[in-house]
Amino acid sequence: MRKSSSPLVYVTLLAAIALSAFPLYWLFVVASRSNDVVGDWPPPLVPGGNLFDNMNRLFEAENAHFLKGMVNSAIASLTITVSVVFFSTLAGFAFAKLRFRGKNFLLIAILGTMMVPVQMGIIPLYMIMVEFGWTNQLQAVIVPFLVSAFGVFLMRQYAERAVPDELIEAARVDGCSTFRIYWTVVLPALRPGAGVLALFTFMGAWNEFLWPLAVLEQDNPTVQFALNQLSTGYYTDYTLMFSGALVATLPLLVVFVISGRQIIGGIMEGAVKA
């Protein structure tokens, strides 16, 4: 922390925040208007009264399958998040605190794989899915993302600092199995970091677009897919698109509002520092 601040600092920061918030605000404004005002100049800057009307139309829009997209994305993102957090904390703990042969080599392997974007393998991945008969099935967008090299690395870094060795030793002396140590000692200590990892994993999964576009069909979409459908189909109008965009952002916003402090705490604790 440094010296206290001048009003200018507040003004600048508030301007930055206004810029951050404006597109979201405007999303809400258009989503609550009727279709006619879009494209008017000056643009509408105050919300209208059509929000629920538009929502109704959104969920009833033929062939957009928006509701199904929301449910699909919720299931997929939650499953992926829980799995990534679990496996990452588990492996991160092992790399940070346990001794085993080949540890360094395997850790470097993980660092290397961090640069492998799963998305680049989509062509054979697609072929695999065809082979499994998983095309247009929800598991096709879940299973390939159940682990993350980034997550393992992150949790390893965090565990190094956040888990005191004495606690582990104490638990060992008490006769705890390694998994029990993980469960009762390590996991609680990793919580802030794991929270940040969870949020980012959830966001990443919620926002995944390339792969669903390849492997899913319109009748069983994810939310981003459904949104894209809304913006290119015949049945488009602007308010519908914007309502969809708003609804697609809402779950993330809710998570953010509920756990924003912890997330910021986690980031500030250095959870995401390399």
Partner 1 sequence: MRRLTRTLAALTAAASLTALAACGGDDGDSASGKTTLVIKTFAQFGYEDLYKEYEAAHPDIEIKEENIAKLGDYAPKLQQWIATGSGAGDIVAIEEGNLSQYMTTPDQFVNLLDHGAGSLKGEYLDWKWDQALTQDGKHLVGLGTDVGAQGMCYRTDLFEKAGLPTDRDEVGALWPTWDDYLATGKKFTKAKTGAHFFDSAGSVYQNILMQQGDHTYYDTDNELVIDSNPAVKAAWDKTTELVDAGLSGNITPWSPQWNAGFKKGTFATIPCPSWMLGMIEQQSGEENAGKWDVAKVPGNGAVRGGSFLAVPKQSDHPEEAADLVKFLTSAKGQTTAFKAKGNFPSALKAIDSPEVKEYSAPYFSDAPVGEIFGESVKALKPVYLGPQNIAINDAVVAALTAVEQGKLSPDKAWDKAVADAERLVR
Partner 2 sequence: MATQLRPRPSVRDEAHADPPPEKTRGGLLSRLDKSGSPYLFIAPFFLLFAVFGLYPLGYTAWVSLHDWQMGGKGDFVGLDNYADLFDDPDFWNATVNTLGMLVLATLPQLLLALVIANLLNQKLRHMTLLRLGILLPIVTSVAAVGIVFSQIFDRDAGMVNGLLDLMGIDPVDWRADKWSSWLAISVMVDWRWTGYNALIYLAAMQSIPRELYEAADLDGASRRRQLWSITVPMIRPAVIFTVISSTIHGLQLFTEPLIFGQGGDAITGGSLRQFQTMSMFMFEKAFKNFDYGYGSAVAWMIFLIILLLTVVNYLLVRRMK
Which residues contribute to the site for partner 1 (CB under 8 A)? 35-36, 38-39, 62-63, 71-72, 75-76, 78-79, 82-83, 85, 130, 133, 135-139, 142, 183, 187-188, 191, 217-219, 229, 231-238, 241
Q: Is 47 in the site for partner 2 (CB under 8 A)?
A: no
- Selection from partner 2, partner 1, none that 58 binds (CB < 5 to 8 A by kind) is none
Site residues for partner 2, window 95-114 (CB under 8 A)?
95, 98-100, 103, 106, 110, 113
For residue 31, give the nearest of 47, 13, 42, 10 by alpha carbon: 47
Smallest distance from the beta carbon of 232 to partner 1, in angstroms? 6
- Selection from partner 1, partner 2, none that 119 binds (CB < 5 to 8 A by kind) is partner 2
Q: Are 151 and 195 in contact (CB under 8 A)?
A: no
Q: Are 91 and 155 in contact (CB under 8 A)?
A: yes
What letter represents residue 42's amino acid? P
Residue 151 backbone dihedrals phi, psi, to 5 degrees: -60, -45
Which tokens in the block code for residue 26?
């405007």
Site residues for partner 2, window 146-205 (CB under 8 A)?
146-147, 149, 152, 158, 160-166, 169, 172-173, 175, 177-179, 182, 189, 191-192, 203
Smallest distance from the beta carbon of 252 to partner 2, in angstroms? 4
In three-state secondary structure terms, 173 is: helix
Which window, 49-57, 60-68, 74-82, 260-268, contacts partner 2 (CB under 8 A)? 260-268
Q: Are 168 and 96 in contact (CB under 8 A)?
A: no
- Selection from partner 1, partner 2, none that 56 binds (CB < 5 to 8 A by kind) is none
For residue 137, give the nearest of 210, 67, 220 by alpha carbon: 220
Token look-up 């004495």 returns: 166
